[in-house]
Chains A and B, each alone.
Chain A
Amino acid sequence: MLQGYLPAILEGLRSTLLVSAVSLAIACVFGLVGATAKLSNSRAANVAVDAYTTLIRGLPELVLLLLIFYGGQIMINKLADRAGLGYIDINPFIAGTMTLGFIFGAYLTETFRGAILAIPRGQMEAGLAYGMTRMQVLTRITLPQMVRHAIPGFTNNWLVMIKATALLSIIGLDDMVHRANLASAATRQPFTFYATIAVIYLAVTTVSILGLGWLERRFSLGVRKVEF
């Protein structure tokens, strides 16, 4: 099947999934920091996060990717030069995960902010009144409940992000699209291979939708649905 290219394509899938997972972890960190900063009383933090989310929303992912990949390469090497280090090569994996993490961190900032706002304020105040530290309130009260409210937005962002990883093939990441490019060139059957990876992407998104839907039901076990 597929003239023996299936293992190579699946190898590419591994790379696609790995890059998505690492980007997601980075995006969650950016998103949590962003949401906390946006909800804080510090004016400087609010302005900084607003600038961050506006910047991301105003630019295509591909442009940011190229800017960080090529711009970052030259900046880092200028710094390395000054420090007397040799040539540093940023690989597409690092540039890609950093960029996607940075981009989707901005969207997750909004998701997480909304999720935190959905928790009744009294619960956090009660925690503080019991003498918990802010950190304890965060880890015991806010975060566990926030997950439930954040899952729908989170699902959307994750789906968009998996699809966005396809762009990383443009900066040379050896992902599924890149493997399909190679196989197409070798076999002269481009449609077969692009259709194959399209089906694989569809399978990944379908599994994600089902999995996260299950997770949402788990986290909402104690909550009664509105019945119309």
Chain B
Amino acid sequence: MIDWALIAESLPAYWRGLQFSLLLMLISVSASFVLSVPLAIARVSSNPWFAKPVFLYTYVMRGTPLLVQLYMIYFGLAQFEWLRESAAWPLFRNAWFCAWLAFALNSTAYTTEILAGALRQTPNGEIEAARSLGMSTGAIYRRILLPSAVRRALPQYGNELVMVMHATSIASAVTIVELTRTARDVYYNNLAPLEAFGLVAIFYFAITFTLVGLVKLLERRFLRHLQPKSADPAPVRA
């Protein structure tokens, strides 16, 4: 029933697709993390000139489908002649650059909200204490707010990492041969959907749970102070 020969034969292609998927995810989440730290600080700022535009950005990015955002960048921007004639055009013609841009901008919106939520949970006393010791606002962010907010954001950020990993499958719609495109090609060439998509499902499964495991390790390291002291209580059953 299952064509094992086909699976063995296409494994190298999947392996290559896996590397591209992981690469796409890594460059996207690194960019989005770097962007979202300052944006989250602006988002929780009491100055509406900082907070409102960031809110608008995250609202629009989170309210529209990633596929449409990707199409807007990859297919859409070609509409503008000034861009086609500018020096940046080779970049915007490149599917990798467009996918990276779309995923990074999209994930920035979600990550900003996650970090902003974590910043808001900071106990007020910590900030008051820092102020009374004479720390400047910059020092408070660097020493008090960000280190603890990033830690608190860890569980949700782990979900976001998994989301971005899954979102990379959308890059298959713009000619990037990552895992899902590989599976679609194997399917089209052999008309073997179970083998083609079943195998890719196993790959995604493995990456997802590796990611989940890594985040758990980080949580155990960085959120140790929040863990219950006794052994885990028995789960509540209704």
Contact = CB atoms under 8 A, between A and B. Distances in A.
Interface of A: 39, 41, 57-64, 66-67, 70-71, 73-74, 116-117, 121, 159, 163-167, 169-170, 177, 180-181, 184, 188-192, 194-195, 197-198, 201-202, 205-206
A66 B238 CA distance: 37
A175 B71 CA distance: 15
Contacts of B169: 60-63
B197 A194 contact: no
A60 B17 CA distance: 15
A201 B184 contact: no
Nearest to B167: A60
A194 B193 contact: no
Contacts of B18: none
Interface in B29-70: 60, 62-69
B76 A202 contact: no
Nearest to A71: B193
Interface residues of B, number: 45
B197 A67 contact: yes
A57 B162 CA distance: 9
A60 B204 contact: yes
A86 B231 CA distance: 60
Of the listed residues B64, B66, B236, the one surrounded by the most CB atoms of chain A closer than 10 A to its CB is B64
A201 B64 contact: yes
Interface stretch (B77-85, B115-123, B142-150, B214-222): B77-85
4 interchain residue pairs of minimum CB distance: A191-B76, A60-B166, A166-B65, A70-B193
Nearest to A166: B65
Given A177-B71, A188-B79, A201-B68, A59 B194 contact: no
Contacts of B63: 159, 201-202, 205-206
A181 to B, nearest CB: 8
